[in-house]
Amino acid sequence: MYKAIVIGTGPAGLTAAIYLARANLNPLVIEGMQPGGQLTTTTEVENFPGFPQGIMGPELMDQMRKQAERFGAEFRSGWVQEVELRQRPFKLTLEGGEVLETETVIISTGASAKYLGIPGEKENVGRGVSTCATCDGFFFRGKKIIVIGGGDSAMEEASFLTRFATSVTVVHRRDELRASKIMQDRARNNEKIEWALNRTPLEVSTDEHGAVIGLKVRNNTTNGEELIPADGIFVAIGHTPNTKFLGGQIETDEHGYILVKPGTTITNVEGVFACGDVQDTRYRQAITAAGSGCMAAMDCEKLLEGTMVRDWSETLNP
């Protein structure tokens, strides 16, 4: 039986693993289908402290993993299909049927950005297509940008991107936006934002060198196809937290994000902690995820010191 299992290997999970390992808790870290999380799909990361020249996303995650391994964290590739969290020790069932037991669980499975599923979209993520304006807006300074979406997040991303772009065109498939009135007003009053409503995205268009040149759309009024020129396309149609495998055993909000006690990473189940984007509906940054991973490890260590199912005193206090 493990003292702590971390599910997920993004910045939150790996930071939690580093802290747990340094506390002699020998955590097991379970990698999912995307080891390293969303940062492995990005190119250069310029806003993570400590790298003045920037660092490639996959390299940053690889260094975090090596740091956790250095202190004794164990890694296992696999996918958690089912959990039993009604009593301790908890049971985690991996694909293939293997069952693991653990005193505590840290959930850091993140949230997956929603995509449209159109041709040229996922193939160009990190090469002109993005789902994070805060992460990638800087790279489009002086460029034309498209934001796809009609909700608050799309309005917020469009407004933010006007700091860098010469123009931002909001594309939405309906002629009415879903965003709140205050967010709509803020965007409509921004002279850099243009509108292409009632248009359905069909394809991300690229030139012969593979560079993004625009978005092909269908005009729902005329039923004709158009190409909206752009150097970058930001998809802002929301995120889906990766919590389905929990089977409703952890309290979440209406969108599936795990609810934690304010100011902590403590969930409604004693011994289960959540960190990173799986519980963060607001910031969704690598550095905030890493910070919450530190919090989860410290919350976990504090609980283990007082509520052990098995006596681990020799390893906790060598």
- Which residues are the active-site residues? 132, 135-136
Rg (CA), the chain: 22
Phi, psi angle pair for 92, to nearest 5° = -120, 125
Give the pair of three-digit tokens for residue 300.
């976990």
Omega before 52 cis (within 30°)? Answer: no
Query: What residues contact residue 117 under an 8 Å CB cut-off, 6+ apart?
Result: none
Whether residue 44 contacts residue 54, with contact meaning beta carbons closer than 8 Å, is answered with yes
Pairing of strands 225-229, 212-219: antiparallel
d(CA 286, CA 65): 14
DSSP 8-state code for residue 71: T
Whether residue 164 contacts residue 158, with contact meaning beta carbons closer than 8 Å, is answered with no
d(CA 318, CA 296): 22
d(CA 245, CA 161): 35
DSSP 8-state code for residue 278: G
d(CA 248, CA 268): 12
Tokens 């930071």 locate to 15
Q: If residue 313 lies in a helix (H) or strand (E), which one and from where to where?
A: helix 313-316
